[in-house]
Structure 1
Amino acid sequence: MNKQYILSAICVLLFLSSCVVLSKKKYEALLAQKDSLNVGWDNAVVKIQSLEEVIANLKKDTATLNAKISDLHSQLEGLNTNYTALSSKSSSEINKLSTDLQKREARLKEVEEILRKRDEATNSLKEKLQKALLGFQENGLTVEIKNGKVYVSLTDKLLFNTGSIVIDDKGKQALQELAKVLNTQPEINIAVEGHTDNQKVGNLGQIKDNWDLSVLRATSVVRYLTELQAISPERLTATGKGQYQPIELGNTGEARSKNRRIEIVLSPKLDELYNLIK
């Protein structure tokens, strides 16, 4: 039923009323009823329009929500795919890390074993040298281990006369006993270090200063060990430290005497260890 239909019905009623004599009161009631119906109709139309707008907005919101839901589903699928890929990758990386850790632990054990063998060899060498050089220890010869190396320290009075670079007989005897042990230990490298005190060198011809004196004394020992005791030259190095690595800091005669020395540093070859840690 629409407004046109209602109005038609009212016209019919009026037409019929023209055929029937109506009282003024009834007529006015019919007019009031007509006005009320018009107002109700207008209100209904407005409400319908408002509801249609609400329905349109709801449809729009529904479409928007559906699009968001669809987008969220796509994101969720992407996240699931990434999670699966990451899980697979993490598992692979964990396995790789575990394998690497096992390899490192194995290498560490090898290094520890090599160092253990080195320490055993160093201690054994020290004992052999102490026995071989026992008779020279009262003349200022010492044997000790420092930083995994054996240090044989000989004071200058055991090897040289004052200011000389020529090894005396007592020094040669000590070096002979040392060489007997070293010739049975071909895996040992030998560094010969010359040291002096802090006193200025006097007029010694070719020797200009403590650097010269320390170097030439070291080379004298190296020559004696290689040329007369048949130690392979490839095993030896000679260096001069001058006065710059004293073992006694005092300026007394005793301190200076200790600082004037030849140190023979014996170290095991660690090629196996170096290859491991490359």
Structure 2
Amino acid sequence: MKKIMLLGFSALVLASCVSKKEYAALEAKHKETKDLLNSTTVKLNKCLADEAALSARGKELEKRLADLKATNQDLIQSTKDMTVLTSKGASNLEKSLESLKEKDLKISRLQDALTKKDSVTLALVSSLKKEVGLNDEDIEINVEKSVVFISLSDKLLFKSGSYNITDRAKEILKKVATVINGKPNFEAMVEGHTDNVPYKSGGVLQDNWDLSVKRSTSIVRALQDLGVAPEKLIAAGRSSYVPLVSNDTAENRATNRRTKILILPKIDQFYNMIENEMKSLSK
């Protein structure tokens, strides 16, 4: 602005000292200079604006570069972690496959043991049916929950209200003793069952519990007398609490009065083995 004032002042001074032609030339030159100044000012302002924009863009690019470097570092670390995880995963998978192979082998052994047990059970049923026979309707030989049993009618074994066995019962028990003695790894459990009519005969027996147990021990003693080792015998009484049918008729009550002789492999060892194997499988 000061330059313009000086130029104007100079023009006034010169106007008095120069001719009109020279003055017009100076005035034209002054206008040209002024236009050039304005144009230069506009360009300068544009350059300053561009510089500010480029500076902001540069800072933005620097920030993006820093972010990319950080992301790249994270990817490198993730790759390292994935390599470690993949290695561990392969190791764990190998261990899992080995464990599955071991479990498959154990399951196979269990299945073989169960198959063998089933085979033994069927052979025992066949042997009992052959020895004892099935011609008498008061004798039943069957398998119940993988246990072989002989069920003998009460009238075949005892007189009414008595725990003394009959001569017919001794003939049947002799055959049962032969089967048990032929199987050294078997035991026999004798279960006495009554109907629900209260026992009233008095004497040493108080109730049906006593009667069922006393009949069971009578059978056990008979089997022992027939040569069965006493350590292989088990006496049990169930009273009237495990009936086959309802005790609502005389015929049904007669059905419920029975003695069961369960022929048992020494399953404690077998089931211990099964239990141990199942515990191993669950680990």
C-alpha spacing 1:152/1:32, structure 2 compared with 1 (3 Å): same
| Partner residue, 2:234 | 237
The residue that corresponds to 2:172 in the other structure is 174
1:211 aligns with 2:213: no
Amino acid in structure 2 at the alignment position of 1:81? K
- The equivalent of 1:67 in structure 2 is 66
Residues 12-31 of structure 1: CA deviation (Å, up to 9, x unaligned) = xx79x958645454444333
TM-score, structure 2 normalization: 0.83
Distance 1:242 1:28, change over 3 A: farther
Q: Are the counterparts in 1 of residues 199 and 206 from structure 2 also a CA contact under 8 Å?
A: yes
Query: How far did residue 35 of structure 1 move?
Result: 3.1
CA contact (8 A) 2:180 2:187 kept: no
Query: Normalising by the residue count of structure 1, what TM-score does the alignment of the two structures yield?
Result: 0.85
Report the Cα distance in structure 2 between the residues aligned to 1:231 and 1:39, rounded to whole angstroms: 133
Separation in 1, partners of 2:184, 2:19: 150
Aligned length: 268
Amino acid at match of 2:183: Q
Asked if the contact 2:186/2:263 (under 8 Å) is kept, the reply is: yes
Q: 1:132 to 1:40 in 2, by over 3 A?
A: same
Q: Is the 8 A contact 1:139 1:158 kept in 2?
A: no
Aligned runs of 1:135-214 on 2, under 5 Å?
137-138=135-136, 140-214=138-212
1:276 equivalent to 2:277? Answer yes
2:83 maps to 84
| 3-state SS of 2:227 partner | coil
Match of 1:220?
218
d(CA) in 2 for partners of 1:232, 1:64: 95
Tell me if the contact between 2:195 and 2:247 (Cα under 8 Å) persists in the aligned partners: no
Counterparts of 2:113 and 2:83, CA distance in 1: 45
Tell me which residue corresponds to 1:50: 49
Query: C-alpha displacement at 1:82, in angstroms?
Result: 1.9
Quote the Cα distance in structure 2 between the aligned partners of 1:207 and 1:250: 22
Partners of 1:204 and 1:180 in 2: how far apart?
36
CA distance in 2: counterparts of 1:89 and 1:131, whole angstroms: 63
What are the Cα deviations for residues 71-125 of structure 1, in whole angstroms up to 9, with x where unaligned? 1111111221122122212211221122122112211221111111111111111
Is the contact made by 1:187 and 1:269 (CA closer than 8 Å) also made in structure 2?
yes
**Would the aligned equivalents of 2:196 and 2:247 in 1 still touch at CA under 8 Å?**
no
| One-letter identity of the residue aligned with 2:62 | A
Q: CA deviation at 1:138?
A: 1.4
- Equivalent residue, structure 1, for 2:127: 128
Q: Which runs of 5+ in 2 are unaligned?
A: none
Q: Quick one: structure 1 residues 53 and 234, their matched pair in 2 at CA, closer, same or farther if it must change by over 3 Å?
A: farther
The corresponding residue for 1:3 is none
What is the CA distance between 1:250 and its match in structure 2?
5.5
- Secondary structure, in 3 states, of the residue corresponding to 2:246? coil
**Preserved contact between residue 190 and residue 236 of structure 1 (Cα < 8 Å):** yes
Deviations along 1:121-141, one digit per CA (max 9) or x if unpaired, are 111111111121127x51511
Question: Identity of counterpart residues, as a percentage?
Answer: 30
Residues 148 and 267 in structure 1, CA contact (< 8 A), matched pair in contact too? no
Offset of 1:277 from its aligned partner? 3.2
Report the alpha carbon displacement of residue 254 of structure 1 after superposing the two structures with TM: 1.8
What's the RMSD between the two structures over aligned residues?
2.8
Number of the residue aligned with 1:247: 244
Asked whether the equivalents of residues 218 and 262 of structure 1 are also in contact (C-alpha less than 8 Å), the reply is yes
The AA in structure 2 aligned to 1:231 is V
Alignment CA distance shift 1:185-1:37 (3 Å): same
Q: Equivalents in 2 of 1:108, 1:118: separation in Å?
A: 15
Q: What does residue 103 of structure 1 align with?
A: 102
